[in-house]
Amino acid sequence: MKPNRKKLVVVLVVFFIALWAVFAVYYYNVSKDMKRPPSLAFLGDEIHKVRDFKFVNQDGDTISLEKVKDKILVVEYFFTTCQGICPLMNDNMAEVYNTFKNDEDIIILSHTVDPKRDSVPALRDYARKYDADSKSWMFLTGDKKELYDQARYSYLVTAADSSKTDIAADFIHTENFVLVDKKGRVRAHASKDGNVYPYDGTDKKDVAQMIKDIRLLKEEQ
């Protein structure tokens, strides 16, 4: 074989090897992106993180952010004497609980909006209605202002601006559920209009979507 032809063959071999390598890397990245689960939207923004708290659960144990860190949190606000939306919300939350009760990565935090009436014994009795294990489904009480500030400014379950300046007169009554990922960021599903809303705890379809989204969060790195 002539020297020039040899060089041409070598150049062509190197070229096709390089081309194959580029294609292989591209195919790998595309395949990885296709397999990667779709990311949930952020309620607020990606920088916002849930702040620390100290509340008391139905067993009388103090629960802080440290005790539930690296977990996916399902958050709601309710009160035990509610005869309106709360029973429906917690019937739906029970579906979430029964789906994930054996999964140590998932914890439900149900905060009272009426700590004056919802004592630890009251929450314990309420939890028994749902056969709730306090390791997986925590019913929480505490200082009213701290509970409400956590709802508005940390979990973002309701409008941040309160029309009440007197905490004694303030009252949150919302059907909203939110998710908190393992990094402490508030997450939710974007609607068709592109806006991000909390999940409607009275709507079975919304709760079913939330269950799907919890599974998505479990797959996130």
pLDDT in tens, 28-44: 443 443 344 446 899 98
Give yes or no: residues 97 and 198 share one domain.
Answer: yes
Give yes or no: residues 186 and 120 share one domain.
Answer: yes
* Percentage with pLDDT > 90 across the chain: 67
Give yes or no: residues 106 and 215 share one domain.
Answer: yes
Instruction: Render the chain in DSSP notation, one character per residue.
Output: --HHHHHHHHHHHHHHHHHHHHHHHHHHHHHHHHHSPPPPEESS-SS--PPP-EEE-TTS-EEEGGGGTTSEEEEEEE-TT--SSHHHHHHHHHHHHHHHTT-TTEEEEEEES-TTT--HHHHHHHHHHTT--TTTEEEEB--HHHHHHIIIIII--S-S--S-SSTTT------EEEEE-TTS-EEE-B-TTS-B--EETT-HHHHHHHHHHHHHHHH--
pLDDT of 74: 99
Give yes or no: residues 90 and 170 share one domain.
Answer: yes
Give me the chain's average pLDDT, please: 85
Give yes or no: residues 71 and 165 share one domain.
Answer: yes
Domain range spanning residue 32? 1-36
Give yes or no: residues 64 and 13 share one domain.
Answer: no
What CATH number is associated with residue 189?
Answer: 3.40.30.10
* Percentage with pLDDT > 70 across the chain: 78
Give yes or no: residues 152 and 70 share one domain.
Answer: yes
